[in-house]
A and B are shown apart, each in its own frame.
Chain A
């Protein structure tokens, strides 16, 4: 048996450093608003991300209405449509998913799962949230600025993003870039905290190879984000200079609408490289925490150790490293030297191997398990289906020559929504149903949870699976209306109506989820400290919800890995990580 599974009695040394006294809040304001407690910051991040996410949801409704019933809504003009898609994309990728996985789940789970009292730098952690909130407010300000928010597409490709042919070129683009710059500053403060906390604040006995995969996923994603976001940061600063001071980082000499502009010598492709050097790792910054969390959900609710833990850890690290050398697969038809295609197609398809191994290991964890179909497990299964679907269509788009006809069509839109929209959001939902009892002390309502799952799962699949075929047909993305186009048959319009109806229903059922979150806060069934009978440390806290400092007087000591489920001969079908070896025998 490998040494990480269970420690023999003893072997845990004394603490290497004495404990540092935490900051103790005394007023309501420092406890709940300007709080330095990672658990409160996590809830603040999550609520803010959810609120801005609702804006993105409504925007998606509006654009779907336009696509299904073009010309019906006088309030959705071409410029509005492009503003909606831009804001929807940016909000979902950055301000919702990145913030929720790292700022929300990361803040709540890292200190509890590694057995720490709080983050390494609680004050900086607090600042991280407030800078994030400011970034969100500046982003939202775009809706109220003259000319509205930017409609440059979430990729913000110059030159169009700062020129008059694009909506929001007056104020919207400036606010967008300023907001991104602030977001990255805020994230960096949080991100340094997550990394240092995982590496330096683990409790006694918590070796790296005993960390739950949730922590591995969040840690790797954070390291990646710290390396990738600077590329977006400099890109945003340079574009801001081009827009405000007339520099030419990304602007060659051009004639726009009959007028010679003063820009000269810049490179639009340079921005694309900077954007995708951030943008591709960003996919995994969202996916890796989801991979980690879903591993723990599957293991806990199948009452079985995660299959191939070491392989899972190395796969996370390998995916994280490889994802830095695949970015130009977003640029096969960008006009860069086409010989790059050989390299980037190869690296992109290689990344499929560790990713596929993770999928096999999730499914093999189910094999000979004791599967409890609780709501978190349902969402985890929904994740497997949608992630496999979206991952496999990535093999089309990564394989350079197949990408050529499919790029810039709805196939791409369907692919990335399936793989980095639907799939990670299922993990977010699964994670919330799973950890809500720890955060509040009450269970979320099961019936409402099941309604939420079934409509969301089947509905989201009905939205995005058929959409691939519109892309295959050749329907381009970012089209306000298809107009008269010979190769698009009228049946495509009926499919668009079907997709829109599905999208309206899926969006509406999220209200059930939000209602459940509020309703269960006071009326949910009391959960007790460990309702799922899970092994990881966050379920072993002396109080539920955990108090300030998490652990009472004594920090927990870890004696085993995070996956001792259904150990033969044990009294129960789970053994908590902080239970010594001798005590577990039945």
Chain B
């Protein structure tokens, strides 16, 4: 009998905890509300299955617990029941997978009007690079990295000269404008993680990775590293500020370009 109570407690208690606890997704600040919706659908379906299975188990333990004289039924299989359960499960799985894949197809399709910026990770700080007036990011390579050129921008590439380089300062983005993030690491695997944006992606040395989002709320948000990168992993922080158009322009005026930061080669 304690086991019956414990099973009911687990089922009811889990649902109660889910409904009452104060910890939930942080308020979203990007276009990925579809992700939140898929999470909600998944909670409904899995929550129903969990409660049903645990309560049914509790009922079985209560109803069929050993008493003198009880004999169990003998029923090796029941093809019909097994098929219905398989079909029901497949329907439930499809109900989660379909919206999931639908949203994923948006995740992999970058809007053509998206502008690019680059986030560069290294142990244990974030740096950023934005295209200048030309709208293009110059090429880069680890071999160009030096004290004067910490991001390894190719000094001979004309597209790189007007790029805006942000070292040890906040990144600013415009509200409502889709951005395509190019991610580059110069040492180990990191991960660009802003909980409010929902989307995140690893930075892998030796390659450029990408994802996109549209900021939908102004404010200042923490950038964390979500890819374990050594002893300073929790301290690898940055900030992204989502501005209105006017504020963004004002901020952009004050930034320095690669050419300004890097003394010309003799």
Contacts and interface: CB of A to CB of B under 8 A. Distances in A.
B24 A335 contact: no
A380 to B, nearest CB: 10
Contacts of A585: none
A52 interface: no
21 contacts: A165-B187, A165-B188, A268-B206, A303-B66, A305-B75, A311-B82, A338-B108, A341-B104, A341-B107, A342-B104, A350-B93, A366-B57, A366-B60, A366-B64, A368-B72, A373-B65, A399-B96, A401-B35, A408-B193, A465-B14, A489-B23
Given A384-B53, A395-B96, A408-B227, A302 B201 contact: no
A26 B198 CA distance: 66
A573 B74 CA distance: 10
Nearest to A4: B76
B61 A381 contact: yes
Contacts of B42: 395-396, 399, 402
B113 interface: no
A568 interface: yes
A520 interface: no
Contact of B76 (A5, A265, A472, A568): A5
Per DSSP, chain B at the interface is mixed
Contacts of B155: none
Contact of B72 (A82, A385, A402, A573): A573
Contact of A352 (B66, B93, B100): B93
Interface string B205-240: 111010100000000011011111111111101000
B201 A458 contact: no
Nearest to A487: B26
A486 to B, nearest CB: 6
Nearest to A570: B74
Contacts of A345: 97, 100-101, 104
A159 B53 contact: no
A524 to B, nearest CB: 22
Interface stretch (A189-197, A253-261, A274-282, A285-293): A253-261
A34 interface: no
B220 to A, nearest CB: 8
A563 B224 CA distance: 54
Interface string B222-263: 101111111111110100000000000000000000000000
Interface in B50-98: 50, 53-54, 56-57, 60-61, 64-66, 70-78, 81-82, 85-86, 89-90, 93, 96-97
B162 interface: no
A402 B35 CA distance: 6
Nearest to A304: B72
Contacts of B134: none
A563 B76 contact: yes
A400 B101 CA distance: 8
Nearest to A409: B226
A218 to B, nearest CB: 22
A158 B205 CA distance: 10
Given A253-B206, A303-B72, A405-B35, A473 B189 contact: no
Contacts of A79: 231
A474 B3 contact: no
B118 interface: no
A310 B79 CA distance: 10
B187 A255 contact: yes
B74 A566 contact: yes
A266 B145 CA distance: 19
Interface in A511-567: 563, 565-567
Interface string A51-75: 0000000000000000000000000
B115 interface: no
Given A371-B60, A373-B66, A392-B46, 10 more contacts: A78-B234, A160-B189, A311-B77, A311-B82, A338-B104, A345-B97, A346-B101, A356-B85, A465-B14, A466-B17
B200 interface: yes
Q: Which 5 A-B pairs have the closest CB atoms?
A: A252-B206, A165-B230, A474-B195, A335-B209, A160-B188
Contacts of A396: 39, 42, 46
A170 to B, nearest CB: 14
Interface string A156-195: 0111100101110000000000000000000000000000
Contacts of B189: 157, 159-160, 268
A491 B23 contact: yes
A449 to B, nearest CB: 14
Contacts of B66: 303, 370-373
Interface in A1-25: 1-2, 5
B37 to A, nearest CB: 10
B82 A308 contact: yes
B53 A359 contact: yes
B188 A407 contact: no
A334 B200 contact: no
Given A335-B209, A345-B100, A370 B71 contact: yes
A373 B62 CA distance: 11
Given A163-B187, A401-B107, A489-B22, A381 B3 contact: yes
Contacts of B22: 489, 491
A558 B195 CA distance: 60
A470 B35 CA distance: 18
A303 to B, nearest CB: 5
B205 to A, nearest CB: 5
Interface stretch (A108-116, A129-137, A475-483): A475-483
B30 to A, nearest CB: 10
Contacts of A486: 221-222
A157 B75 CA distance: 50
Contact of A369 (B60, B221, B232, B237): B60
A333 B191 contact: yes
B123 A165 contact: yes
A256 B100 CA distance: 38
